[in-house]
Amino acid sequence: MFDILETRYLELYQKDVEFCLTGDFNARTASSQDIDNQIVDDISNQPLDDLMEVDLEERRVMEQYFDDSRKCTAGRRSEDKILNRYGERLNELCSNVGLYFLNGRCEQDINLGKFTCNETSVIDYCICSPKVLPCIEDFYVNDSNSLLSDKHNAVCYEIRKKKK
């Protein structure tokens, strides 16, 4: 699955397509970071050019967003403390190609990483390409609702196109 995602991402990247992946990945990532830990420790003093394997324009977008925004943090948190094999693979994919988890990082879920499944795990994610981050207007994990799902909490976000 992760090889297919990476291949598809690279195809979209070559076409300059920005996107969000949202859904049940059955991957428990705990609070593992998709951004180099040096950036998480001190985003303002660490040049992204040295640490991230994305193109220069994307690095500038990320650097400005994490420096200027109080809507999103470089580091992420999770109520789920378990890291499974799928979680390792998903985090590796995101780190390798420059995709970012919104869970535990943005808006109403900032520094929380609320449970998304059975109130015991985080396996449902919103993962986006770098230029989408500044367009995120809201992100949250709904409380459990048996009308929507027997197990999963809805992962909700709002995206607005930024004016040039």
Paired tokens of 113: 């990483």
What pLDDT, in 10s, does the model give residues 108-161? 999 999 999 999 999 999 999 888 888 888 999 999 888 888 899 999 999 988
pTM above 0.75, yes or no: yes
Q: How far apart are CA 107 and CA 88, in angstroms?
A: 24
The SS3 assignment for 113 reads: coil
pLDDT exceeds 90 at position 67: no
The one-letter amino acid at 49? D
Average pLDDT of 64-69? 60
Average pLDDT of 72-91? 93
Q: What's the pLDDT at 36?
A: 63
